[in-house]
Structures are given as structure tokens and as C-alpha cells.
Amino acid sequence: MVVERARKTGNLLYAQSGGVTAVINATAAGVIETARKHKSRILKVYAGADGIAGILTEDLIDTSGESDTAIRALRHTPGGAFGSCRVKLKDPASDEARYRRFLEVCAAHDIRWFLYNGGNDSADTAAKLAAYAAAQGADLCCIGVPKTVDNDLAHTDFCPGFGSVAKYAAVSTLEASLDVASMASTSTKVFVLEVMGRHAGWIAAAAGLAGKKPEEAPQVILFPEVAFDPARFLARVREVVAQVGWCTVVVSEGVRDAAGRFLADQGQSDDFGHQQLGGAGPVIAAMVARELGLKVHYAIADYLQRSARHVASAVDAEVAYKVGEAAVKYALEGMNAVMPVVRRRSGRPYRYELLPHPLAEIAGVERKLPEGYIREDGYGITPAARRYLEPLIVGEAPLPWDRVTGLPEYLRLKNRRVSKRLDRDDA
């Protein structure tokens, strides 16, 4: 962490990265509104179109063309207002052309501060860019801004985006289970809900908030941290159906067998090196139907869970805004290669503080669900997990509804482009 008190002026560049969330635009609002309060230093706020991908092609957006009302509306609009991407920068030794290109774009547009809003891979990108810029003597501060529904960033109480997906998972599990219970005597006996979570079972655990007693749904949760045992799982489902009359199963997309193989591995991977998963939910549902002869329905929450702004957590929406605000303040204080992290001060009510933490200690570190949060039988959450999770989904984050259409009034920005100053499109 480097702190330099020099009161330099210039432009600030913000970009969104990775899978978006119901509240990532609240962070964007926090960045832009805070920057607008410091016009004597931050002359303009630019946004990278489609994250780092747009920056490398000098595809920049001038946010000064948006009204204060429009920026305020970002607080309740899901998705990524400026576009996101899944682009991973390799080490400069093997990918230096893109690093040079990044610095060229920043220099051409007088960018002195870069804020990258994303998860673990984005923290890695921001850390690498900060180190490279420093090595080149560039006058540039790089700040990471946290976001991920997976809740797997280290050194923070929770990640903005998680509280809302956690609320969605718990509410959806509760509502769907009431449906299954209503039909179980003559129809569906087992309902399977697949949620996100490639390596960490935070979202699956959050679904466990739907019930407090062993017989209440979800009666079975399948975590990535617990090796899947088909025979034991089927015995558990059979037992629950015999006792309760029906069973709800929540399965994380990243569930693996004893050999470490994903149940739903498609044999493909993305640019980050993540294996593409084809749906653990259908695999589990087919197994139950085939082996137990029970009628099964399944659902894959997929994009629905991470875009559900209508059921966002008030705590999550607030913290998402505040980390954007903090990132700008850190930048103006001359900090470099840091990220605002959340420190919990109390759970009920939820109180917290934001502190800068070195990106180097966050990038590449994946926080999994602690053993103490998983019930001894491996199929549910413990009281400790409940104490951690419940405060994060408390409260609603209101949004405006159109009285004629009955739909939420979500915002689409103008996203006016900045004129290019370089003589080529990419690195």
C-alpha cells in the first residue's frame, strides 16, 4: 500500500468485470456520485465499455453526460450499466503488450485513477496493473472494488452482491418448497434447486436459511466442500420423503464426487480457466428419478439469482454503494493496490466499517465455507452459519415500479463514447 498526499488532478476510470450482480450498479453510483463531489481534482469519470476489454480498445464512456438523477437510479438497477467482461491478463512477462496498451490509453486520456469492480480474478488484474504501472513510473493509482455473488473474497466479512443472491436463494427455496408440499400427496415428491457456487458453498448455505428445523426445507444441501456420495445421498432423500412426504434439495453447481470431478463438467473452460459446468441440478434430479422412482422437478437459478434486484437485501445494497464511495476516497488519498473490505462490528443490527486491504493478499485467495458452518451430517448449515448469514439478508431495498406496466423502472444510460486519441484499436 502506497499513500502519497500529492493533490494531483486528472480523470478517473471505472470498469466492471466478471459476472454482474443485483447491486453492482449501486457501487458504480457510489463511485460516480463521490467523484462528482471532488470536481476540483477529478475532472471527469470515464467508464470502460465491457470492462478491461473496452479499455484495451480505447472504448471509453463519458459519464459526465448522465444527469444526477440517472446516476442515482443506478442504485436500484441490476446488471452492469457499462458492460462487463471475462478477460484475464496474464503476467506481464508473457502479455506485456496489453499492459503497455492499458498505460497508453490512460496516458492519452489523462487518467490518474483506475477502479476495477469485480471478484477474485479482477482483484488479480488490478494488482498486476498496479505493479506494472509502478514499475514503469506511471502516475496511476489502481484500486480494486469488491463484487461477487460467490462471497469467496478473502479478508472481508462479505462481498457486495452476495447478500442479495443469498436472500433470493432463501426466499426461492421457501416459496418453492411450499408449492412442493402442497402437491406431494399425488404429484412431485422431490424438488431440486441448483444455485451458483463453483468451489464455495456460500449461496447453497444461504438457501438453508429457509428452514430452521431438520424437517423443514431444504432438507438436503449439497456443498462443493463435501464430496458427493450417491448412495448416502439417495438414502437421505428416501428417509426424508418417508418422514415428511416430500424433499427439497439445494445443490451447488460445483458439487464434486470423491475423485474431485464436477458432477456437471462439460469439458470446456472460459478465459479465466474456469471449467464450464452444465447443470448439477439435472444430474441430481435424474439420479433421484432413476434410483428412487420418485417424481422430481428441478430448477436452475442461474442468471435469475444474481439479477433479482426486486428481492435485494438492504444491507447488501448499502454496502455495495459504500465500497464505491470508499474506493474513490482511497484513490484521492493516494493509496494504490488496495481494496475496501468489510469488517463486521455487530450482527444484530448489522454494523460494519470499511478498511483498505492490500490487493496482493486478496488476489488468488479463495475463501470457502468454513467446516464449522456445515452440519455434521454434511447436508445442512449450523447455528454458526445462520448467525453469520441472517444479518446479510435483512431488510428490503425499495425500487420504483411503473404504475402502468407493473414493471420495475430500471435505467439504461446513454453511454456516450469518448473520442479516441490513439491510432489503433487494440494491443
Q: Looking at residue 314, what is its pLDDT?
A: 98
With respect to residue 232, please indicate whether it lies within any of the assigned structural domains. Answer: yes
pLDDT band at 425 (very low <50, low <70, confident <90, very high): low
Share of the chain above pLDDT 70, in %: 94
With respect to residue 415, please indicate whether it lies within any of the assigned structural domains. Answer: no
Per-residue pLDDT, averaged over 184-198, amounts to 97
* E strands, 58-167, in order: 60-62, 111-118, 141-146
With respect to residue 388, please indicate whether it lies within any of the assigned structural domains. Answer: no
Q: Looking at residue 270, what is its pLDDT?
A: 45
User: Do 286 and 348 share a domain, yes or no?
Assistant: no
Q: Looking at residue 264, what is its pLDDT?
A: 76
Range of the domain at 192: 162-308
Per-residue pLDDT, averaged over 5-33, amounts to 93
Task: Count the neighbouring beta carbons within 10 Å of the beta carbon of residue 22.
Answer: 31
User: Do 18 and 77 share a domain, yes or no?
Assistant: yes
What is the rounded distance in angstroms from the CA atom of residue 356 to the CA atom of residue 160?
A: 15
In the structure grid, which three cell numbers stand for residue 219, read together?
Answer: 432438507
Is 0.85 surpassed by the pTM of this model?
A: yes
Residue 295's CATH number? 3.40.50.460
* E strands, 66-203, in order: 111-118, 141-146, 190-195
Q: Would you call 95 a catalytic residue per the annotation? A: no
User: Do 71 and 208 share a domain, yes or no?
Assistant: no
pLDDT band at 214 (very low <50, low <70, confident <90, very high): confident
At CA 122, angle to CA 3 and CA 393, rounded to 5?
95
CA neighbor of 383 nearest in space, from 375, 393, 391, 395? 375
- Tell me which of 50, 124, 150, 316 is the catalytic residue: 150
Tell me the Cα Rg of the chain. 23
User: Do 278 and 314 share a domain, yes or no?
Assistant: no
In the structure grid, which three cell numbers stand for residue 391, read together?
Answer: 444479518
User: Do 289 and 177 share a domain, yes or no?
Assistant: yes
pLDDT 10s digits, 384-407: 999 999 999 999 999 999 999 999
With respect to residue 1, please indicate whether it lies within any of the assigned structural domains. Answer: no
Q: Looking at residue 2, what is its pLDDT?
A: 52
Domain boundary among 365, 381, 405: 365
Q: Looking at residue 1, what is its pLDDT?
A: 56
User: Do 297 and 358 share a domain, yes or no?
Assistant: no
User: Do 192 and 302 share a domain, yes or no?
Assistant: yes
* Helix%, strand%, coil% for the chain, nearest 5: 40, 20, 40
User: Do 123 and 256 share a domain, yes or no?
Assistant: no
User: Do 205 and 283 share a domain, yes or no?
Assistant: yes
pLDDT band at 278 (very low <50, low <70, confident <90, very high): low
With respect to residue 421, please indicate whether it lies within any of the assigned structural domains. Answer: no
User: Do 226 and 251 share a domain, yes or no?
Assistant: yes
In the structure grid, which three cell numbers stand for residue 13, read together?
Answer: 476510470
With respect to residue 59, please indicate whether it lies within any of the assigned structural domains. Answer: yes
Domain boundary among 346, 365, 384: 365
Instruction: Count, in order, helices (H) and strands (E) of the chain.
Output: 12, 13
With respect to residue 177, please indicate whether it lies within any of the assigned structural domains. Answer: yes
With respect to residue 401, please indicate whether it lies within any of the assigned structural domains. Answer: no
Structural domains counted in the chain:
2
Q: Which residue has the higher pLDDT, 17 or 6?
A: 17
| DSSP state, residue 66 | S
pLDDT 10s digits, 355-379: 999 999 999 899 999 999 999 999 9
Q: Looking at residue 279, what is its pLDDT?
A: 87
pLDDT band at 249 (very low <50, low <70, confident <90, very high): very high
User: Do 212 and 279 share a domain, yes or no?
Assistant: yes
Q: Looking at residue 268, what is its pLDDT?
A: 43
User: Do 201 and 126 share a domain, yes or no?
Assistant: no
Q: Worst-scoring range by mean pLDDT, 46-55, 184-193, 226-235, 265-274?
A: 265-274
What is the rounded distance in angstroms from the CA atom of residue 327 to the CA atom of residue 312?
A: 22
Q: Looking at residue 320, what is its pLDDT?
A: 98
312, pLDDT greater than 80: yes
Residue 130's CATH number? 3.40.50.450
